[in-house]
Each structure stands twice: as C-alpha cells, then as structure tokens.
Amino acid sequence: MYERKLIMGFVRVHILHHATSPEGTYGLWMIQELKHHGYQISPGTIYPILADMESEGLLSSYEEKSGGSIRKVYRATKSGRSVLESLKIKVEELYKELNE
C-alpha cells in the first residue's frame, strides 16, 4: 500500500529526532515508541533502516551491554542533526498548509 511508503519517511524522522537525545536510541526502543504513535514496525524493518541511516552518515552507533546481550545504540551525527533541523522547518510548513 502506498501509505506505507510515506510512513517509512516519518519513521526516519522519528528515529533522527530520538537519536539526538543524549542517551540515543536503539531498535527495540524505537519499535515501542513507534507503536505508541500507531505505527506497526517489525525488527526486520527497523534494523535495516538504522543500518542505512548509519551508512548514510546520519547516525553513529556504539555497542552497549544490556543484561546478557549487546545492543547497538544509535546517536545522531552532526550531519544527522542538521538534516533534522531543516526537516523540522519543512514539517512545520507542511503541517500549516495541510491545516489551512
């Protein structure tokens, strides 16, 4: 369905936003967070997106021990932050126009 295509763009914006927090974000946390917003995103979808965004230079990652396993935590890079800043303006403009 076409809606899905657009939603995946929103998902990337969410990731970028949460990756700017000092503690960063990780796959499972993002899945829960997106669920609160009404998005059903599986691990098979979120992990490739995170990896993509890292190879695009928007995110950087480090490994963190949690219990017995290791999780990959992602933080926005300088270029990720500047992309987010310009997206914020575009999202705001779009929102205004849609609600005129």
Residues that bind Zn ion (CB under 5 A): 14
Report, in Å, the least distance between residue 5 CB and Zn ion.
19
Closest CB to Zn ion: residue number: 14
- Pick between residue 22 and residue 67 the one whose CB is nearest to Zn ion: 22
* Residues counted in the chain: 100
Report, in Å, the least distance between residue 35 CB and Zn ion.
10
* 32 φ, ψ (degrees, to nearest 5): -65, -45
- Pick between residue 6 and residue 70 the one whose CB is nearest to Zn ion: 6
Instruction: Kindly tell me the number of DSSP H helices and DSSP E strands found in the chain.
Output: 4, 2
- Pick between residue 14 and residue 71 the one whose CB is nearest to Zn ion: 14
Is residue 95 within 8 Å of residue 50, measured between CB atoms? no
Beta bridge partners of residue 63, listed in sequence order: 72
